[in-house]
Amino acid sequence: MKRGPLLYMDQRRFSLKIILTAIILNHGYAGVSYADVFRLVDDLGIVHLTNVPVDHGYQIMLHSPRCTPGDSKPKASDLLHGKKPYNKIVARAAREHNLDKALLQAIITVESGYNPRAVSSEGAAGLMQLMPATAQRYGVIDRYDPEENIQAGARYLRDLINQFHDDLPLALAAYNAGEDAVVHYGNTIPPFPETRQYVPRVLNLYRRYRSNSP
């Protein structure tokens, strides 16, 4: 939850020095995120930078300096083809909370890129980016522990799905922006750019993961 926006830069207008400065400020130097940074140049020459690659064309550009050597960090191709770490934990949490494991996989991909040490600028942490209040609500002791994090994130998602009467887009919007924001805007997706981008990204990945499931 609450991740920083992707960066989009026009290669024809920005120098490499400026691009690298933006990456460092947004990802490494200020400690905003523990995720790697991936780069894609499209047909129009636009440079796309993200810490959650969802296309084969992305190439690693910057390794996070704050990830420990023991962290498990899958390749972009592994994420796309469903060869993801923590599958047993995800599958167990999905069964226990009556969720599709592909949905949890999609959320983890968008939230943290499967980096268990990821931290957002707002303080969300771990694979499913739990805020401190959410972690406390579900009895999480260590937000960086994959099992605790995934179990709590799955419970929270199930509660949101129940709260919004099985309306998955609203539940995902609430996961990103908070349930109070969704209620405040009349049980609609809040008009926040991040949330408006987050919901379709998760749903698109969810469909792709479901289609790749055995």
Which residues are marked as active site? 111
What is the token pair recorded at 28? 């490494």
Residue 156 belongs to what H/E stretch? Answer: helix 146-163
Q: Where does residue 6 fall: left (phi above 0), alpha (psi -120 to 50 degrees), or beta otherwise?
A: beta
Q: Do residues 94 and 101 make contact, with C-beta atoms less than 8 angstroms apart?
A: yes
Long-range contacts of 175-180 (CB under 8 A, 24+ apart): 175/1, 175/107, 176/1, 176/2
Q: How far apart are CA 87 and CA 98, in angstroms?
A: 16
Q: Do residues 209 and 82 make contact, with C-beta atoms less than 8 angstroms apart?
A: yes
Separation of first and last alpha carbons in the chain = 28
